[in-house]
Amino acid sequence: MLRISAIATRNARNIVNGEVRRCLSATAAQPKHKVDVKQERATERQNMSFMANMFRGELEPSQVFPYPDVLNADQKEMITMLVDPFERFFRDINDPVKNEEISKLPTETENSLWELGAFGIQVPNELGGMGLNNTQYGRMCEIVGVNDLGLGIVIGAHQSIGFKGILLFGTDAQKQKYLPKVASEKVYAAFALTEPSSGSDAGSIRCRAVKSPDGKHYILNGSKIWISNGNIAEIMTVFAQTEVTDPKTGEKKDKVTAFIVERGFGGVTSGPPEKKMGIRCSQTAEVYFEDVKIPIENVLGKEGDGFKVAMNILNNGRFGMAATLSGTMRLCIQKASEHAANRVQFGKKIHNFGAIQEKLARMALHQYATESMAYTISQNMDSGSQDYHLEAAISKVFASESAWFVCDEAIQILGGMGYMQSAGLEKFMRDLRIFRIFEGTNDILRLFVALTGIQYAGSHLKELQRAFKNPAANLGLIFKESSRRAFRSVGIGGVDLNPYLHNDLRECGKQVSECMNEFGKAVEQLLVKHGKNIVDQQFMLNNLANAAIDIYASVVVLSRASRAAKLNLPTVENELLLAKTWCTDASYRALLNLKKTGSNDHVDLYNQMTKISNTVIENDGVFTTRPID
């Protein structure tokens, strides 16, 4: 998982090349790129994503309100049964410190994990797995997050990305052949995308597979770096460039294709495990391919569809990180709370001091929001949603940053003791750092969120432009749109979350609804101002993404607290309080970020930052005179 890196840049790139430009330029005279028929169809299907619709100022409640509830009684009982043995494994057998010391899992631990079934949690029963759905898997992830993130990467790199492609895109024959092995026969899998010259820009990989003259094989050459489980995996999902002929034009082009590669094919070798900051028991290695002969039936998905395969695998696994890290935050909060409740300074238990109270409260808020996101998304996925990619990306960014913040504050509360290894927090801090980097850096994911959302909003605007060309036939659409805009400009109308919320949350409902309305306006203004060049406005896109993240967190929190109230859970009062506090705080931040996108002061500010950065680059570092020279 480490550095399967990659991700969405390519999506952003698509936008650069085709979509947004095409969508936004009113006189789209001659689109350079052929309109992808499939993509066109996809945009016709109604997008049910809450976030995508927010980009165009609309409220699409179906995936967030009421809070999803997909598990039936049987599935819930299953979870209760599974939680216990899993927790016991961590309590009695696994030793995270030892795993780190020897930089791998001891054989006994490894065997117990296999016996436990932890390597094939989502593989169907009949193929030797546990057959759990995403939500049940998320609950398991949470336990991993509480205990050992390094081990989490070992099992995550294996099933969340390593063989996930076979599960999602494999043919029946591929599934029958490979899934039983990776689910229960102690055969490791890995996901190999990242290369020395291709990190976030996953489309630029250089590994190449050439079809043999008889068409029965592909011959793969190239190398991959930072592949989790790379040195122990027998089965890998590998991405390489292939020459694909466009069926219509006959034009030959390089396109990425995904392959299932067995080490046993020959020509597959791997380097020694890398030395890393954290998650050390997960072995990360380079993998080399030299004339590897891959049978044609091992193409995963369609030839040339590799990029789509890669992105879908990554999108599909992201909620798992949110679930895992909400567990990690639970642990950090527990440790911090134990200390704050007992440590006496200045004659008082330190939890009596406001400085500590704010920390503990913010930690609890971030945990609540992350957990709410994780199980909203997993349950959306389980109920068959296709439109969860924005939300999944947001959950990865939010969870990894929240966990970093929460762990950092826990260490701060413990003070000097927190800095000691014996407190059990510093290892979490080191292990956590990678979560902001791998599986799509948070920076890239922010751009992905902003640009994908804008693309959707832009396509909607394009529809409007078309409608204006033939007003008579599209009167309804134009009227609806112009009245919406007119009302909104005088502060009436817009979205209203309150019908979906518990009465006690009405004030927050108003705040968050306002943020959503401002968000829609901000997107529109950015589009009007920058047009197709919006793709180059990374400073602004960042602000927009930050607002989107805060709003999504608020909405899932409001929904979860409303659920707690409806079911009258024992924790309802606290949950309502968490929701109110989170929403007020997050709304301030979101409005501020939105304001920045429309402010000329900030345009100037960002221009200055560009200049400063350029100076740093030109001078290979700081360019100042010491104040004592």
Partner 1 sequence: MARVLVGVKRVVDYAVKIRVKPDKTGVVTEGVKHSMNPFDEIAVEEAVKMKEKKLASEIVAVSIGPTQSQEVIRTALAMGVDRGIHVEVSGKDYDLLQPIHVSKILAKLALDEKADLVIVGKQAIDDDSNQTAQMTAANLDWPQGTFCSKVEKTGDGYTITREIDGGLETIKCKSPAVLSADLRLNTPRYATLPNIMKAKKKPIKKVAPKDLGVDTTPRIDIVSVEEPPVRQAGAVVPDVDTLVAKLKEGGHIK
Chain residues binding partner 1 by CB under 8 A are 77-78, 80-82, 84-86, 88-89, 112, 115-118, 121, 125, 128, 130-131, 184, 570
Number of Cβ atoms within 10 Å of the Cβ of 567: 11
Which neighbouring-strand residues pair with 244? 253
> CB under 8 Å to 588, separation ≥6 — which residues?
none
The position carrying tokens 């009949």 is 126
Q: Which is nearer to partner 1, 68 or 117 (CB)?
A: 117
Report how far residue 457's alpha carbon sits from residue 434's, in angstroms, rounded to the nearest whole number: 32
Residue 113 Cβ, how far from partner 1 at the closest point, in Å? 10
CB of 102 vs partner 1, minimal distance in Å = 23
Query: CA torsion 20→24→26→27, rounded to 10°?
Result: -20
| Nearest residue (CB) to partner 1, 74 versus 214 | 74
* 573: number of Cβ within 10 Å: 12
**Whole-number Å distance between alpha carbons of 23 and 18:** 8
Q: Of 612, 586, 590, 555, whose CA–CA distance to 63 is shortest?
A: 555
Shortest gap between Cβ of 323 and partner 1 (angstroms)?
17
Q: Is 575 a catalytic residue?
A: no
Would you say 82 or 590 has its CB closer to partner 1?
Answer: 82
Distance CA 293, CA 299 (A): 12
Integer Cα distance of 279 and 574 in angstroms: 34
Task: Please state the closest distance from residue 131 (CB atom) to partner 1, in A.
Answer: 7
Pairing of strands 299-300, 217-228: unpaired
Least gap, CB of 84 to partner 1 (angstroms)? 6
Structure tokens at 48: 């049910």
Pair 258, 169: CB distance under 8 Å: yes
Minimum distance from CB of 492 to partner 1 (Å)? 45
Let me know how long the chain is: 629
Q: How far is the CB of 188 from partner 1 (least distance, A)?
A: 18
User: Whose Cβ is closer to partner 1: residue 131's or residue 531's?
Assistant: 131
Of the candidates 211, 251, 244, 400, the residue with the CA atom closest to the CA atom of residue 321: 400
DSSP alpha helices (H): ranges in 415-505? 416-419, 426-433, 442-469, 475-489
Q: Decide: 545 and 450 in contact? Cβ < 8 Å.
A: yes
Query: Nearest approach, Cβ of 566 to partner 1 (angstroms)?
Result: 16
Separation CA 284–CA 232 (nearest Å): 9
Cβ of residue 132: shortest distance to partner 1, in angstroms? 9
Q: Least Å distance between CB 373 and partner 1?
A: 24
Residue 348 burial (10 A CB sphere; 0-12, 13-18, 19+): exposed
Pairing of strands 344-345, 348-349: antiparallel
Burial of residue 109 (CB within 10 Å: 0-12, 13-18, 19+) is buried
Nearest residue (CB) to partner 1, 81 versus 612: 81
Closer of 503 and 568 to partner 1 (Cβ): 568
Tell me the pairing of strands 188-192 and 233-245: parallel
Instruction: Give whole-number Cα distances, 535 to 45, 116, 342, 440, in Å.
Output: 25, 47, 52, 18
In this complex, which beta carbon is closest to partner 1, that of residue 88 or of residue 349? 88
Between vectors from CA 475 to CA 473 and to CA 480, what angle results, nearest 5°?
145
- Classify burial at 157, counting beta carbons within 10 Å of its beta carbon; exposed 0-12, middle 13-18, buried 19 or more: buried
Q: How far is the CB of 190 from partner 1 (least distance, A)?
A: 22
Is the peptide bond between 499 and the residue preceding it cis, with omega within 30 degrees of 0? Answer: no
Phi and psi at residue 227, in whole multiples of 5°?
Answer: -95, 115
Catalytic residue among 60, 110, 195, 439: 439
* Strand positions, DSSP E, 335-416: 344-345, 348-349
Residue 518 phi, psi (nearest 5):
-65, -35
Q: Name residue 221's beta-bridge partners.
A: 208
Whose Cβ is closer to partner 1: residue 85's or residue 196's?
85
Alpha-carbon separation of residue 404 from 5, 158, 214, 597, 620 (angstroms): 19, 24, 53, 27, 30
Q: Which is nearer to partner 1, 116 or 437 (CB)?
A: 116
Catalytic residues: 439
